[in-house]
Amino acid sequence: MATTTAALTTSSHQPPTRKILTVYWKEAKYEFLKNLRLRMYSVATIFFPLMFYVLFGLVLGRRSMGGFNPASYLIPTYGTFGVIGASLFGTAAGLAAERGLGWLQVKRASPMPTFAYFTAKIAMSMAFSAVVVLLLMLLGVTLGGVHLPLWQAAKLLGVLVAGSLPFCAMGLAIGYFAGPNSAPATINMIYLPLSFCSGLWVPIMFLPKLLQQIAEFLPAYHLSQLALGVVGAGRQESNWTHWQYLIGFTLICLGVARFGLQRDEGKLYG
């Protein structure tokens, strides 16, 4: 009986930083390509916010929205709507399917750094968020006659892309609890009511009083107010309060996602 175990020639080689960066880069690049080619994701994510904007902001928009013309007011709100969609679907749908149907296991058996898997999904979602926001602004400026100075456009883009993070965190949390095939339905059941109640479709001041009060507890409301604030259409509440809500929400979601990850490992890998 051979009792010698082939010992590892431990040179304890630390992979060089460049090598690690390559992994993170490729993981994100292919995550992006994968979703770009997945029309269910790329078309839906970009098309719906733009369609709503054209419909309610450009074609039907007559009514003044708190002193603003709809084409201006709806860029930040549909921008928020688009960012949340790109983030939730970009993280939750892929994660739920990949962990439920075995692909994540193949990756986990490799030396892939686990963190690279998650950052790739977040980076991809942020990239799509940026595309949606840029296209909305382009439509508004060209077809809606919206006056949007460059610095304002840049700030709006920055706020909304940063604001995709809380919803990526939420997506990871959902991805750990939704079934592989039911995830898109689950996401919609959260995404659509959340968007409506936060005043992303119909401006917040046109919502019933009760919904307006509920909105103040919803992360989507706080992001939309930050975005509206950039163009001076917000409700003059403290930006810091909005950020605090979003940061708190992000932390809660990351906590839930972490719990899901550990539960999953207990079940699947424990």
Among 67, 149, 208, 270, binds other proteins (CB under 8 A): 270
By rule CB under 8 A, what count of residues binds other proteins?
A: 40
Half-sphere exposure at residue 76, Cβ-oriented, CA atoms within 13 angstroms: 33
Q: Which residues have CB under 8 Å from 171's CB, separation 6+?
A: 87, 88, 89, 90, 91, 92, 95, 121, 125, 187
79-118 footprint of other proteins as x/- string (CB under 8 A):
------------------xx--xxx-xx-xxxxx------
Q: Does 19 bind other proteins (CB under 8 A)?
A: yes
Among 17, 18, 37, 240, binds other proteins (CB under 8 A): 37
**How many other β-carbons are positioned within 10 Å of the β-carbon of residue 233?**
21
Judged by CB under 8 A, the chain residues 120 through 179 that form the site for other proteins are none
Judged by CB under 8 A, the chain residues 191 through 250 that form the site for other proteins are none
C-beta of 180 vs 190, nearer to other proteins: 180
Whole-number Å distance between alpha carbons of 95 and 200: 26
C-beta of 15 vs 232, nearer to other proteins: 15
Whole-number Å distance between alpha carbons of 114 and 78: 33
Smallest distance from the beta carbon of 32 to other proteins, in angstroms?
A: 11
C-beta of 240 vs 269, nearer to other proteins: 269
C-beta of 67 vs 111, nearer to other proteins: 111
Residue 182: which of 78, 266, 93, 69 has the closest Cα?
93
Q: Does 18 bind other proteins (CB under 8 A)?
A: no
Q: What angle do CA 102, 107, 109 make, to 5 degrees?
A: 95
Q: Which two tokens stand for residue 53?
A: 């904007």
Whole-number Å distance between alpha carbons of 268 and 105: 9
Span of 17-25, 147-155, 161-169, 189-197 interacting with other proteins by CB under 8 A? 17-25
Phi, psi of 68 (to 5 degrees): -110, 150
Span of 30-38, 207-215, 231-239, 243-251 interacting with other proteins by CB under 8 A? 30-38
Q: Packing angle between helix 239-264 and helix 219-230, nearest 10 degrees?
A: 140
Smallest distance from the beta carbon of 183 to other proteins, in angstroms?
A: 13
CB of 57 closer than 8 Å to CB of 71 = yes
C-beta of 36 vs 58, nearer to other proteins: 36
C-beta of 37 vs 209, nearer to other proteins: 37
Whole-number Å distance between alpha carbons of 208 and 20: 52
- The site for other proteins (CB under 8 A) is made up of 2-10, 12-13, 15, 19, 22-23, 26-27, 30, 33-35, 37-38, 97-98, 101-103, 105-106, 108-112, 180, 267-270
